[in-house]
Amino acid sequence: MVSPGVRFLLQTVLPVLARPLLFGIALHHGSRFLDYALPLWATAVVASASLPTLGALSIWRKQRQHAREAAALGARLAPQPQGRWLGNLDLLRRLMWNSRYGYPTETITNWMAELGPVVNVRMFWTDAIVTSDPEHIKRVLSTDFSNYEKGPRFQNIMRSVLGTGVFNSDGDMWKFHRTITRPFFAKDRISHFEELDRNAELVITTLKSRSRGGYAVDFQDLIARFTMDSATEMLFGTCVNSLKAPVPYAHNANVFGSERPPTSDENAFIEAFSQAMEQVARREQRGLLAPLAEMWEDTTAKSMKVVSAFLDPIIAAAVERKKVADAMGGEKREAQTLLDELLNSTSDHTILKDETLNILLAGRDTTMHTLTMVMYFLCIHPAVNERLRAEVLDHVGPSRQPTYEDIKDMKYLRAVINEALRLYPPVPFNVRSSVNATTWPSPDPNEKPIYIPAGTSIPYSVLIMQRRKDLWGPDADDFDPDRFLDARVKKYLLSNAFQFLPFNAGPRICLGQQFAYNEMSFMLIRLLQSFSGFTLDEEACPPAARVPPEWKGAPGRKGIERFRPKMHLTMSTQGGLWIRVAEATD
């Protein structure tokens, strides 16, 4: 198999070099018709010198074309932050530094504060028009949906892990994947809580055990196990049982040795899938030149080999069971797993594997992050925790398993989850690619519309949008669940529903949105039935992962946060979220 780096050279670099090469050949042979034939070395020098000249000419022509097209449409080009280095390499360096060491989205947010909510972050003469404007995002996701696709660059980054699944496809392939997946997330399926309760009990048991021993617990790690076990059971009918493996101790815990999960196919699968997703996140961060970092091999290949070794037998067995059941006839049974549901539409191994992995990504990381953020806010806002617990006890009591109807009636619980999703959406950035040239309305009514060239990368930031004070009020940086219950709902949110998009919107809206709300609500109810309070243990967090002292007093949430957010494809908490719990006595 050709590596990403070699493929990049063949598809990108060789065509660029072809023009000066052809020019050199023509010059060398053409000079023979003159009185003086150019020597080969001189031809090579002239041909080499033509490369930057032709490149600069191509860039100039493209920019001039965009300016003419914008003028013809009565529009303007998107404002650009100006770099000092060739190709805006210094801007790329700043973004990379912020991604690794800074507060998520800070660099983009600063550019938008200066230039407006839409900016063209132009790197190596390639446009990336970033927006945090709800009207623009509405067009991309809904009203002009057909003009925006995932695009080849995003798909190339993800293909080695997600294949052509629902999150990594466009057109008919995307419609097919969405159609075969949708029935599984019907109402009668998402209200089944027995599987969740088994895993929730393991979470609670671990929290109690560590608490009684006087130890802090990494809630992010624990809840990641909960979401992974719940997701694999729902998708494949095979639980990886990560909650039954030992959980880590804090770096400062007085324990001998370290508990590591025992080696097993299930644990190997979890680790391999995580490593593969980390690699594709690095590809996204490296930008256009990312393939050059994988010159000799695809860095996801080894991990995906382990993933396949775990999944392939499960899928093959499910296909065989379906064949036997169809041959025997009889009454058709309701699909108990997503894999069973997909088998009603196809037995293609690749399609089954791609789609289940796509849904696994959505079902694990996003729910894990949101539950971690809710726990963080409950730790630092004890009044919110007390009020939420009172609602839980009032509706469900101290021990009864909650029902779908219980969850639907608990308005404050939904508000707490929504406020965590507003401040820290699991996917802070998403991206599309424009198919045809178009215009967007200007955020400033006194300015011309903004021109969007065809084939342009369109990143949009839900995180930046959901913290804008002009959209959410002067207290937009504050954690206040009541904003989803009081008059602010009508004043801010109902005026434009597209300014709150933790689950996306339009035809690509998250199929599992209601399932995610139910899973998160169920877990939180069970936690609040068992524990009366939660506190952060910041000393348990590894020193290198703690909030830098220079963040204190900075504008926005950066200056008050007590954990360090990390952003790749999805958000997480650097070093984990270490907490202590107080067991309930009522």
Q: Which residues are annotated as a binding site for heme?
A: 510
Residue with tokens 């802070």: 428
Q: Which residues pair with 580 in a beta bridge?
A: 535
The rounded distance, in Å, linking the Cα atoms of 4 and 160 is 10
Q: Are 463 and 424 in contact (CB under 8 A)?
A: yes
**Angle formed at CA 396 by CA 393 and CA 398, multiple of 5 degrees:** 55
Helix (H, G, I), strand (E, B) or coil at 25: helix
The rounded distance, in Å, linking the Cα atoms of 528 and 400 is 12
The rounded distance, in Å, linking the Cα atoms of 224 and 230 is 10
For residue 117, what is the DSSP state?
A: S
Which residues are within 8 A (CB) of 555 and not within 5 positions of it... i.e. 6 or more apart? none
The rounded distance, in Å, linking the Cα atoms of 429 and 426 is 9
Q: How far is CA 310 from CA 238, 271, 468, 474, in A?
A: 10, 12, 44, 50
Residue with tokens 């990381």: 365
The rounded distance, in Å, linking the Cα atoms of 397 and 390 is 9
The rounded distance, in Å, linking the Cα atoms of 219 and 377 is 13
Q: How far is CA 206 from CA 203, 212, 214, 221, 527, in A?
A: 5, 10, 12, 12, 12
Measured in degrees and rounded to the nearest 5, phi and psi for residue 369 equal: -65, -45
The rounded distance, in Å, linking the Cα atoms of 24 and 50 is 9
Binding residues: 510
Q: Kind and range of the H or E element at 151?
A: helix 151-162
The rounded distance, in Å, linking the Cα atoms of 401 and 194 is 9
Query: From the CA atom positions of the chain, what is the Rg in Å?
Result: 27
Q: Are 397 and 525 in contact (CB under 8 A)?
A: no
Handedness of CA 62, 64, 66, 72 (dihedral sign): negative
Tokens of 274: 């995580």
Please report how many Cα atoms fall inside a 13 Å half-sphere around the Cα of residue 336, on the Cβ side: 9
Q: How far is CA 505 from CA 142, 280, 360, 569, in A?
A: 7, 24, 20, 18
The rounded distance, in Å, linking the Cα atoms of 551 and 545 is 13
